[in-house]
Structure 1
């Protein structure tokens, strides 16, 4: 009994001590958690941590994001709570803490190695999707338990610290989407416990994959696209037997795909696309029976498609944009998993496998741009899952199989430029497709009334065939139609009057048919129509005056018909810049604005037209119209106004003479970790270092003592520009992180001095290179295309990924800088918004045209407002400069108007910059860029694409004509 009492007493004492100890620990943990908020190192603007109160029940284990075990805090998950401030290293003073997740917040600043050392007992640390800057923190003490480390999607720069090699138990390491700019270190291959390694989207110094990466035998995921990798894929990858996803796409890898790739026996996905790999694909894939997705597109691969690769049960198989030849292996048709097949832009020959589509749920096939021949496979849509059929640019012959008319899943069809013949199955016309493109084949027959079932059809492109018969009135049920191309066929009869109801129609081309009757009237619904070509038919009656009132119509061709009556005055006041009404039966006086040499070819062949100015046409009775006098007066007034504005701008612009060297007046804002002093920069702002002068200030090239080069912009003095606004805008610019945007390092603000310091770009501006003496030699077509896509991505980031969006307002080649590898960096963004405020804007003290002559969108003249669509217009002009090599107002010709005229009348080659090496020009790509540029420079902002859409169009390999 005594023993029992003693035991009970001991237990009671132990329990009391334990409870008190647990209570003390909880109180201590609560105090630690509250410390960063109390000293303002951590802010909670959304109130997500409202329940973090010392007096709350069971504190802190019931607090938001806190997990406990046995009364001790073991995990903090504050993901996506909107918290801001510095890295709260104090949290790691909780000795029982094992997992810390601060991802997807607004934390920023530097993280020192000393502060990270406090967290050495953690097993998981996630700081992803924040705004941390400076060097990656090192790990000066042993982290014996750390298995998960995620620093991705931040603004870390410099190198991966060497002491990362001490993280021996690390299983997950993600450093993706930062600004790491040193080499990918070889020592990563020593972290042998790794199962996942993410290096993607970093501007690393060009470096190879670690040579001994095969030592990472447990590695399952290697994600390294856009990591500036170069050199060959190491043979040691054959030892990565646990690998599931191997992604080294969008780099600069060269050489052959190593045969050892066959050792990755558990691989499910291999991504090698957009590199410079060459040689033949090794026939070494027979053991990769788990492989579902393989993409080696956009390389320089040669030879045949290996049988061992084609025989795998792949879901997605992409080898497009290479130099492959030979036939498509028949065994592909037996694959039960095949869903996507992309082999376009190669040199493949032979016919498509007959069994293709019979054994799998094939959804997408693109074999365009090859040398394929023979018939279309009969059972391509056997499983009724086919959505996209793209086979243009081959020699496919025979008829379209009847079974294709039962392919209810089909949405997108491009089979143009082949040798297909026969009648299109009636059921095919009735499919609810988005896109039909049969152009330049030998197809015949008529469009049946059942076409009315294709409710979602947006593009009907069937020019250059032998189609005939009437255009059925049922076509008017297709309310989504945007483009109709019927030219070069044998259609006849009258145009259905109801086509005037197409509210979304952009282009209508019916040239070279036998249509008769009058042009339909009441065209107010054609608000989005940009091109109308009804030429070379048998149309009669008068020209509807409403054609001249369509707001965005730029091309109108009514030539070679039997039209009569006068030329509507409205045509001369319209937006049309390509007009052809020649060879008709028009009569009367040519409207004044069309009565010029420029329009003469568009008027010839109308015997009863008369002119006041053109000797090639019969003369009209002359009387000087009052409108000409008015035009002269207005022109004089405009000249006086322009001269006055220029004088005012010159009078009010003055360079700061003093103030930069008054150290007491400096206010410094740093956005990156820098290894130099402000004095070193400021005392270098001398004439000897001056490299340029622009609308916002002077730019100096400064070589620091360390050898690093920076660019310093000393801004023009601007009265009324509040320092608080300047600092606020600089904070916004400093948080921007994108590989195609120049990096702002820090700013100085003095009493009479404002200086911004950026990374220096070795090749200067695109304007200097493009229009300099060596522009043609230095900028070949692949380089120009790369610059176009890079600049588009940078601008899209400003418009769509920044909150709030940033409008550049002065995009031009001089504001696109090029680094040593000619990669583009958009520069000077936002400065127009900051420095050149309009008078009606908040805090506006300066009034100045937003933009540069030749790049300003036309709507600015009457709205005085700049939007994202203004930037899109400016970008379109830049694209035209890249294609043509001309300045925007070369020889006083507007480049937009000039390109439209020359490309239409003389062809693509007359637009191209003659300084480029013709052997390196990809004409399909040039045509794509030109089409995108013309979309961007549409007259009305609403008709211009967003920059996100521009990026998609430039990257879309299926975009041949937009």
Structure 2
């Protein structure tokens, strides 16, 4: 920062000169005071942001942090970025006549493009990134004729990019990324002969091809048009961009082959073409020596990987995943000295892996999964000591795991499942200090389990191997383990009590082994356990009653063991989604809560069990009790006398009621129903039965009908669900009834619909709930008779707590829009555990088997898209979800307005609906790292419904600026 310097007055002569020439001194002083006044006025007009309170009349502007001065002491630059400014830019800023640099990025400035800046005649650098600007870029933007740098990214500009922008002849950087342009970008940009950086990513332009004229931009270093709705082929003219260093065309609809000349560009260091429809073979001749990153994944490329790739001595990232490549990986790629990332997953590659991969470079990521590779895993993968992941699942690799991986402490994941590996695991693999996921299933590994594991290991999958021996007592040190799957091995001995103290264990699968002895009774410590499978072992003794106290256990399989004794009554508290105790030696009565149709397969092959409910096809417990005791003759005589007495009394009563047939009929009908209450009731079954008329019908379906029934004159209602129960009733309906009774009859929670009682007869079953005035959330999202006045904010306020529950529950809303859940038919309690709905089943969940916040954000994004479009989450075919459909529309250049729900697409809501749609898109982005955090999403919504405008989506803390 420059300051005004006045030479020190040392001699009388200089003093005389100064006296004789007072005018220049006074002019400079006046200019400084004038600029101070301008800046203080500017501060006031910007609303006196607290972040620039240091601006005051007692100090000089050139000493202010945000101000840059030239050699003559005049103000040449203002940096007002991230100052919380919410006002429009005032004309006062151009009163600074020497202003060259203006940075007002990362604020909340509203309005259209600030034409007041046209008066800043010396302006060269203008940065307005991430604000609230709207509308088109004006056609007369070329009045800013001195501009060299302009960044308008992360705003809400719309329409076309005007061709007049090509009149800014001195422009070196043009950044217009991440807006809402829905028109065209001009080929006239090619006339900007000095342009070095062009960023147009994340814009929904009309489908456009890359102009051939862009090949004239000889000084262009960076060309970024990711997700810009590009179509057609990559023009050959781009191969003449001799200065090009980075080419990013990711996520468009480009097709055809990759021009050979791209690989001849001497300065090209980064090439990103993944997620297009590019096809054909990769060019064989690669002449450039400067390529650092090359990502051609998710295309339709075929043929082999060119041998010439081994000449790219500066290459750090090579990503060719999800193509149709075949043949072998050239061994020369394993010799590349700078290679850090190697990803060729999901191709048809075969043969042996490069034998010296990792020996000459510091390899960090290695992913060759889902191919046809054979032979052994490369020995030198971690020679550089920085390898983080070895992902080689679903191949035909064989032999032992390289011993060198046992000395690789940088590893955090090894995924070798579904191969032909054998031998013992190197000891150091178990204890690598950074290891998180170790997935070795479906191989022929042998040996015993270790006493110690890496301190942060959370997933250990060893199923379908040949591991043998006992579970060591040292398992108590596996303190961060979440998933332990060792099913279908040769493990033996007793299950150690130490395993019950693992605090985070969620899935424990030890089925198909040779375990014996009792199950530890200290399992009460498994507070996080959700799935326990110990079937097909030789376990014996009684089933510990402590299992009934595990709060989250929903899957329990103890079948095909030697358990004996009675089923603990404490299992009544469990009510699992899947229960299998079959093929044991259990005896006694099946607990009441489990004595129903939902568990009809759970107790088979236990010959000494009995039941009360005949649907389970077990001996009746009361009949067995009767048969086990011989009744005395006096007792029989007493029963006979009582029977005769009751018969006489019945005849007398019958004579009286015959005189009133209707009254008799009503009593007989009422007696046919059995009422079981779960709450304190202020009505009787008679109130309910009398109101099951067509006038009170509010819904119907395959399982029956739903009625709204008034229970008093005060206007209180209940909802009655009638489920048919005739001879044609199928098992699913019976399970649905059982599930709802079991779950809702026992759960007490403010957001679970209260099941007041059930009323049953031979012909049907009635479930009586508290009445939800606003019915289901789905009605508000997808109903055909919705009012446009329904407030989006009202609906959004109930969504987030439901993201995890939406797969298995229907969401109902009370009269004040509070949330209540009720099980759906997807909430299965059958011999098969329920599947995740396609709505929320996304790639990284299947890949990592770990649910994290980014998957929650994806789920929330689907709900936002439902709100914005009015469509249901499974709007596509069996392979396409609503999120896929929305991204297809975005990629095809469909105007966002055409994607919105016509029921509420009115001018006054259009901006809000557009933002909700955009937010839904970014929340469902294919890459988890690109999705915002849930905190950021909620902050966007909070601001959006408390300000006059909703902020632009994902413009958070400037994080996306580096991919514009």
> Judging changes above 3 Å, is the alpha-carbon distance between structure 1 residues 618 and 937 closer, same or farther for their aligned structure 2 residues?
farther
> Judging changes above 3 Å, is the alpha-carbon distance between structure 1 residues 135 and 937 closer, same or farther for their aligned structure 2 residues?
closer
- Indicate yes or no: 2:54 matched with 1:48: no
1:573 paired residue number: 573
Q: How does 1:421-570 map to 2 (within 5 A)?
A: 421-432=422-433, 433-449=435-451, 452-570=452-570
Q: What is the total number of aligned residue pairs between the two structures?
A: 717
Q: Deviations over 1:213-253 (max 9, x none)?
A: 12111111122212222221111111111111211112221
1:761 paired residue number: none
> Judging changes above 3 Å, is the alpha-carbon distance between structure 1 residues 10 and 121 closer, same or farther for their aligned structure 2 residues?
farther
Q: Does structure 1 retain, via aligned residues, the 8 Å contact 2:809–2:823?
A: no
> What SS is found at the alignment partner of 1:324?
strand
Q: Give how far 1:903 is off.
A: 6.1
2:791 paired residue number: 831
Q: Does structure 1 retain, via aligned residues, the 8 Å contact 2:343–2:366?
A: yes
Inter-partner Cα distance in structure 1 for 2:414 and 2:689: 53
Q: Deviations over 1:501-534 (max 9, x none)?
A: 1111110111111111111222233222111111
> What SS is found at the alignment partner of 1:25?
helix
Q: Deviations over 1:257-283 (max 9, x none)?
A: 111202421111111111111111112
Q: Does structure 2 retain, via aligned residues, the 8 Å contact 1:467–1:491?
A: yes
Inter-partner Cα distance in structure 2 for 1:99 and 1:394: 57
Q: Does structure 2 retain, via aligned residues, the 8 Å contact 1:932–1:950?
A: no
- For CA contacts below 8 A with separation 6 or more, give which structure has more relative contact order: 2
Q: Does structure 2 retain, via aligned residues, the 8 Å contact 1:240–1:263?
A: no
Q: Give how far 1:901 is off.
A: 4.9
2:104 paired residue number: 102
1:272 paired residue number: 273
1:86 paired residue number: 88
> Judging changes above 3 Å, is the alpha-carbon distance between structure 1 residues 203 and 816 closer, same or farther for their aligned structure 2 residues?
farther
Q: Deviations over 1:621-640 (max 9, x none)?
A: 1799x997334986977998
Deviates more, 1:922-931 or 1:413-422: 922-931
Point out the structure with max Rg over C-alpha: 2
Q: Give how far 1:94 is off.
A: 1.8
Q: Give how far 1:299 is off.
A: 0.9
Give the unaligned 5+ runs of structure 1: 1-6, 652-808, 818-826, 835-849, 852-864, 880-888, 914-921, 942-946, 958-962
1:837 paired residue number: none
2:824 paired residue number: 894
> What SS is found at the alignment partner of 1:24?
helix
- Indicate yes or no: 2:593 matched with 1:593: yes
> What SS is found at the alignment partner of 1:56?
coil
Q: Does structure 2 retain, via aligned residues, the 8 Å contact 1:873–1:936?
A: no
2:230 paired residue number: 229
Q: Give how far 1:81 is off.
A: 1.8
> What SS is found at the alignment partner of 1:43?
coil
> Judging changes above 3 Å, is the alpha-carbon distance between structure 1 residues 163 and 494 closer, same or farther for their aligned structure 2 residues?
same
2:36 paired residue number: 30
Deviates more, 1:178-187 or 1:428-437: 428-437
Inter-partner Cα distance in structure 2 for 1:621 and 1:577: 28
> What SS is found at the alignment partner of 1:421?
strand
1:353 paired residue number: 354
Q: Does structure 2 retain, via aligned residues, the 8 Å contact 1:124–1:146?
A: yes
> Judging changes above 3 Å, is the alpha-carbon distance between structure 1 residues 10 and 213 closer, same or farther for their aligned structure 2 residues?
farther
Q: Does structure 2 retain, via aligned residues, the 8 Å contact 1:559–1:581?
A: yes
Inter-partner Cα distance in structure 1 for 2:685 and 2:380: 69
Q: Give how far 1:869 is off.
A: 3.4
1:629 paired residue number: 676
Q: Does structure 2 retain, via aligned residues, the 8 Å contact 1:876–1:934?
A: no
> Judging changes above 3 Å, is the alpha-carbon distance between structure 1 residues 155 and 142 closer, same or farther for their aligned structure 2 residues?
closer
- Indicate yes or no: 2:583 matched with 1:583: yes
Q: Does structure 1 retain, via aligned residues, the 8 Å contact 2:163–2:189?
A: no
With the length of structure 2 as denominator, give the TM-score of the two structures: 0.68
Deviates more, 1:333-342 or 1:136-145: 136-145
Q: Does structure 2 retain, via aligned residues, the 8 Å contact 1:199–1:227?
A: yes
Q: Deviations over 1:915-951 (max 9, x none)?
A: xxxxxxx99899679997999899xx9xxxxx99996
- Indicate yes or no: 2:312 matched with 1:312: yes
> Judging changes above 3 Å, is the alpha-carbon distance between structure 1 residues 414 and 953 closer, same or farther for their aligned structure 2 residues?
farther
Q: Deviations over 1:787-846 (max 9, x none)?
A: xxxxxxxxxxxxxxxxxxxxxx997597499xxxxxxxxx99993644xxxxxxxxxxxx
Q: Deviations over 1:74-133 (max 9, x none)?
A: 1111122222200233202321111111111221122254x2322232011111121112
1:176 paired residue number: 177
Q: Does structure 1 retain, via aligned residues, the 8 Å contact 2:611–2:619?
A: yes
Inter-partner Cα distance in structure 2 for 1:391 and 1:577: 34
Q: Give how far 1:463 is off.
A: 0.5
1:16 paired residue number: 22
Q: Give how far 1:441 is off.
A: 0.9
Q: Does structure 2 retain, via aligned residues, the 8 Å contact 1:184–1:209?
A: no
Give the unaligned 5+ runs of structure 2: 1-12, 626-670, 699-774, 812-819, 861-918, 930-964
> Judging changes above 3 Å, is the alpha-carbon distance between structure 1 residues 602 and 140 closer, same or farther for their aligned structure 2 residues?
closer
1:401 paired residue number: 402
Q: Deviations over 1:849-892 (max 9, x none)?
A: x68xxxxxxxxxxxxx957332443378799xxxxxxxxx9xx9
Inter-partner Cα distance in structure 1 for 2:336 and 2:325: 21
> Judging changes above 3 Å, is the alpha-carbon distance between structure 1 residues 593 and 832 closer, same or farther for their aligned structure 2 residues?
farther
Q: Give how far 1:471 is off.
A: 1.2
